[in-house]
């Protein structure tokens, strides 16, 4: 059994596990690399340690200094772990939308958590990135890791992850599949595998279908840590310098529901509990494997554990609230649902002219008081809008006589999953005092609206029908 001088020395060296039941009738060998076996629980431990060590070496981080990062969680956890061991202060800027388990893990290591939820472009003074940079500028001895642009990020994977995959497959790997977030993991690992194999290994970028990396519209998704989001008001789509696009041979776009299905199936067939971004990689790998032969070996990197997402992707209540499905849906008793009372509301854009909006709505035959969803502009929309793209709602009546669409918009703060029963607490707790309109989510996307009146018009009758 190996022994280590410190917890930092135990980073890396994760195994490969062959899938049998989850891979079904697929012909190639499919192995997964469970990166949660790193001490901080994710693949990001590798980059976090490499970035910190490089900062120490070049003098950017000195004794008594403060480690700072803007992150969706896992890189912050890796940095917080290393900072705790080495005696640095850690300050992590993130969003309150990340899994609660990640937030708790960060504070468990002693990191100071700064939550920033302003929905603004990355260069706006109130953005998550700007707040982190401002803190560093105002704090003596602070060092910002900048994982998206730090060359130590991909270098860590070139030095460790790539060689491990090659050695553990005895050079038989033919396809390497990983998600694309900062780009460091797939770039460093992929570059090593291509070099050592003489270009034989194919590198597959598993990406949310909306991610701009693989040609999506840049809209938000529910799977944390994978893909590239572009704010609808951003002037430029800035990609990270850690990403080497020349390393990636193909992209495979995966929807949130497909990723969730993949990890839940993995847990129930293989006993392997993996996180959401692992589902993106796994679903992409299975799709690629369908066209391969028994001579091929596919290695899929799984970034983190499902233990971090027990309150989300593995929670049937969370799935239902956001319009996703899970195994429990097969056994759920019948009865009236939100979807049965919802309406497919038309969509107009916040910055289009009032005249054009009214013309299109008139063509759809809308009544004066019918709700109309107002979205931020997003060219080439791939799916129905994510709720972050919805500015609010309006009506044809409010639009008439208005100078702009924006001035007629009223926010919609309630979101209900399409499959929620009318007896669900999320439905019964809604009192309608906020305007009486809720967004309806189907597989995480806004597909329409439902009014409080529609759900509560005859509550006694609805409950009687359900009981019967």
- Give the 3-state secondary structure of 264-287: HHHHHHHCCCECHHHHHHHHHHHH
Identify which of 88, 190, 66 has the alpha carbon closest to the alpha carbon of residue 132. Answer: 66
Identify which of 356, 347, 71, 45 has the alpha carbon closest to the alpha carbon of residue 224. Answer: 71
Between strands 415-417 and 89-94, the pairing is: unpaired
Q: pTM of the full predicted structure?
A: 0.93
Tell me the angle at which helices 256-270 and 276-289 cross, rounded to the nearest 10 degrees: 90
- Mean pLDDT (the chain) is 93
Report the distance separating Cα 444 and Cα 132, nearest Å.
Answer: 29
103 vs 331, higher pLDDT? 103
For the chain, the structural domain boundaries read: 7-39+151-309, 44-144, 338-467
pLDDT at 458 over 80: no
pLDDT at 468 over 70: no
The CATH class, in words, for 44-144 is alpha beta
pLDDT at 291 over 50: yes
**Selecting from 3.40.50.300, 1.10.275.10, 3.40.50.2300, 3.10.580.10, what CATH number does the domain 338-467 have?**
3.10.580.10
Q: What count of other Cβ atoms lies within 10 Å of the Cβ of residue 237?
A: 12
pLDDT at 75 over 70: yes
At 331 the pLDDT is 55
At 334 the pLDDT is 64
Strand order in the sheet with 372-375: 347-349, 372-375, 390-394
Report the distance separating Cα 330 and Cα 328, nearest Å.
Answer: 5
Report the distance separating Cα 167 and Cα 93, nearest Å.
Answer: 37
| Active-site choice (33, 44, 131, 221) | 44
Backbone CA torsion sign across 433, 435, 440, 445: negative
pLDDT at 226 over 50: yes
Helix H, strand E, coil C: the string for the chain is: CCCCCCHHHHCCCCCCEECCCCCCCCCCEEEEEEHHHCCCCECHHHHHHHHHHHHHHHCCCCCCCEEEEECCCHHHHHHHHHHHHHCCEEEEEECCCCCHHHHHHHHHCCCEEEECCCCCCCCCCCCHHHHHHHHHHHCCCEEECCCCCCCHHHHHHHHHHHHHHHHHCCCCCCEEEEECCCCHHHHHHHHHHHHHCCCCCEEEEEEECCCHHHCCCCCCCCCCCCCCCCCCCCCCCCCCCCCCHHHCCEEEEECHHHHHHHHHHHHHHHCCCECHHHHHHHHHHHHHHCCCCCCCEEEEEECEEHHHHCCCCCCHHHHHHCCCCCHHHHCCCCCCEHHHHCECCCEEECCCCHHHHHHHHHHCCCCCCCCEEEECCCCCCCCCCCHHHEEEEECHHHHCCCCCCHHHCECCCCEEECCCECCCHHHHCCCCCCCCEEEEEECCEEEEEEEHHHHHCCHHHHHHHHHC
Between strands 390-394 and 347-349, the pairing is: unpaired
328 vs 395, higher pLDDT? 395
Report the distance separating Cα 294 and Cα 77, nearest Å.
Answer: 39
At 333 the pLDDT is 54
Cα 290 to chain centroid distance, Å, stands at: 25
Which CATH architecture best describes the domain 7-39+151-309? 3-Layer(aba) Sandwich (3.40)
At 123 the pLDDT is 87
Domains 44-144 and 338-467 share a fold: no
* 44 catalytic residue (yes or no): yes
Query: Where residue 330 falls among pLDDT bands split at 50, 70, 90?
Result: low
Residue 313 contacts by C-beta under 8 Å, 6 or more apart in sequence? 260, 263, 264, 275, 276, 279, 306, 319
Query: Where residue 173 falls among pLDDT bands split at 50, 70, 90?
Result: very high
Structure tokens, 432: 């309608």
Query: Where residue 462 falls among pLDDT bands split at 50, 70, 90?
Result: very low
Q: How much of the chain exceeds pLDDT 70, in percent?
A: 96
Among left, alpha and beta (phi > 0; psi -120 to 50; other), residue 443 is left
Q: What is the pLDDT of residues 136-157, one digit of tens each?
A: 999 999 999 999 999 999 999 9
Report the distance separating Cα 431 and Cα 328, nearest Å.
Answer: 28
Average pLDDT over residues 272-301: 98
């Amino acid at each position: 059994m190996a022994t280590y001088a410190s917890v930092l020395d135990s980073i890396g060296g994760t195994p490969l596990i062959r899938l049998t039941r989850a891979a079904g009738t697929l012909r190639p060998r499919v192995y997964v690399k469970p990166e949660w076996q790193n001490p901080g629980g994710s693949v990001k431990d590798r980059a976090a340690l490499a970035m910190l060590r490089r900062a120490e070496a070049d003098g950017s981080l000195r004794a008594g200094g403060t480690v700072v990062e803007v992150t969706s969680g896992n890189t912050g956890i890796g940095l917080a772990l290393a900072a705790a061991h080495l005696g640095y202060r850690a300050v992590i800027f993130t969003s309150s939308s990340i899994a609660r388990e990640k937030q708790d893990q960060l504070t468990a290591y002693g990191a100071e958590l700064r939550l920033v939820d302003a929905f603004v472009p990355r260069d706006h003074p109130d953005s998550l990135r700007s707040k982190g940079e401002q803190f560093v500028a105002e704090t003596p001895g602070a060092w910002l890791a900048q994982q998206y642009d730090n060359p130590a990020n991909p270098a860590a994977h070139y030095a460790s992850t790539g060689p491990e995959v090659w050695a553990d497959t005895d050079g038989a790997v033919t396809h390497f599949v990983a998600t694309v977030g900062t780009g460091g993991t797939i770039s460093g690992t992929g570059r090593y595998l291509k070099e050592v194999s003489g270009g034989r290994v194919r590198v597959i970028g598993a990406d949310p279908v909306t991610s701009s990396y693989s040609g999506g519209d840049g809209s938000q998704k529910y799977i944390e840590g994978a893909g590239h989001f572009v704010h609808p008001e951003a002037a430029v789509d800035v990609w990270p310098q850690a990403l080497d696009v020349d390393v990636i041979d193909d992209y495979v776009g995966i929807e949130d529901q497909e990723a969730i299905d993949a990890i839940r199936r993995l847990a129930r067939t293989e006993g392997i509990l993996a996180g959401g971004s692992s589902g993106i990689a796994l679903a992409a790998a299975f799709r690629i494997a369908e066209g391969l032969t028994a001579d091929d070996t596919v290695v899929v990197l799984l970034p983190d554990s499902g233990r971090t997402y027990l309150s989300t992707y593995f929670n049937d209540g969370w799935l239902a609230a956001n319009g996703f499905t899970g195994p429990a849906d097969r056994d759920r008793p019948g009865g009236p649902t939100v979807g049965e009372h919802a309406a497919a509301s038309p969509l107009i854009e916040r910055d289009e002219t009032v005249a054009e909006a009214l013309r299109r709505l008139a063509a759809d035959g809308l009544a004066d008081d019918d709700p109309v969803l107002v979205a931020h502009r997003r060219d080439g929309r791939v799916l129905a809008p994510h709720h972050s793209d919805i500015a609010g709602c309006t009506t044809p009546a409010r639009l008439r006589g208005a100078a702009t669409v924006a001035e007629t918009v009223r926010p919609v703060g309630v979101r209900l999953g399409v499959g929620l029963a009318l007896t669900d607490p999320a439905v019964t707790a809604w009192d309608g005092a906020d305007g009486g309109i809720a967004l309806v989510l189907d597989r995480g996307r806004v597909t329409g609206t439902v009014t409080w009146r529609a759900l509560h018009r005859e509550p006694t009758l609805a409950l009687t029908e359900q009981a019967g």
